[in-house]
């Protein structure tokens, strides 16, 4: 075969092969496997954490008001709560009335017997003075014993009071370091000795306390007659 004929034949084969390849490509015969399609992996959503509940406020307790101190009936005595009438105190107490004592103290009073004897008169107005009466026999301690008893609670110098009973005295001053002036005294009537005390917390002067004490001693003399 002539070389020119060989070249033409080879060229024709190459054209045929190229055409076949093109046809196969058009028909999809030589395409590779389909690429795998990856779906997006869902991102887990973090569960919402519930907000911590705020602690309940601690209630603030209001302070309990404190109760005011109450003065015992009779001032220096301790008749509160025993409910005994003043006459149960014996002696001068059997003839003293709340109205009479109240007229001296400057207001209505309530009388009550004291443990161990005597009586106390407490004013309806807690600012008014209170008074106590205790009767003993004069021979028990005499006037000096009565003065020692009076000054054991009232810090002052006893003053003799001529013309009241057979003998009498009064002392005024502070008591147990408290600022208010208090009063104490006694009067002798025959063989009887009547001890009187006055308790006040209204800031009354020593002169006022002394005058009230003298009137209480005079009342005891008048009722004992």
Is the pLDDT reported for residue 14 higher than 70?
no
Run of H or E residues at 172: strand 167-174
pLDDT at 126: 85
The pTM of the full predicted model, rounded to 2 decimals, is: 0.64
pLDDT tens across 39-86, in order? 444 444 444 444 444 455 554 444 433 333 334 333 333 334 457 899
Number of neighbouring beta carbons within 10 Å of residue 213: 27
Residue from 136, 119, 140, 139 nearest 216 by CA? 119
List the single range of 29-43, 62-76, 187-201 with lowest mean pLDDT: 62-76
pLDDT at 138: 92
Is the pLDDT reported for residue 2 higher than 70?
no
């Amino acid at each position: 075969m002539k070389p020119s004929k060989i070249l033409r034949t080879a060229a024709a084969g190459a054209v045929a092969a190229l055409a076949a390849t093109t046809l196969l490509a058009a028909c999809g015969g030589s395409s590779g496997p389909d690429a795998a399609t990856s779906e997006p992996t869902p991102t887990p959503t973090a569960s919402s954490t519930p907000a911590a509940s705020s602690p309940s406020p601690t209630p603030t307790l209001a302070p309990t008001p404190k109760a005011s101190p109450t003065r015992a009936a009779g001032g220096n005595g301790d008749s509160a709560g025993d409910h005994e009438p003043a006459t149960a105190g014996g002696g001068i107490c059997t003839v003293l009335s709340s109205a009479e004592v109240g007229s001296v103290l400057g207001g209505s009073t309530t009388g009550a017997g004291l443990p161990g004897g005597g009586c106390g008169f407490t004013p309806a107005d807690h600012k008014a003075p209170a008074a106590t009466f205790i009767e003993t026999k004069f021979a028990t301690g005499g006037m000096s014993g009565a003065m020692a008893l009076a000054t054991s609670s009232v810090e002052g110098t006893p003053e003799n009071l001529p013309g009241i009973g057979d003998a009498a005295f009064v002392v005024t001053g502070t008591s147990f370091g408290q600022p208010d002036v208090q009063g104490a005294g006694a009067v002798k009537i025959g063989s009887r000795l009547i001890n009187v005390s006055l308790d006040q917390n209204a800031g009354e002067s020593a002169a006022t306390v002394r005058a009230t004490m003298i009137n209480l001693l005079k009342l005891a003399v008048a009722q004992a007659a």
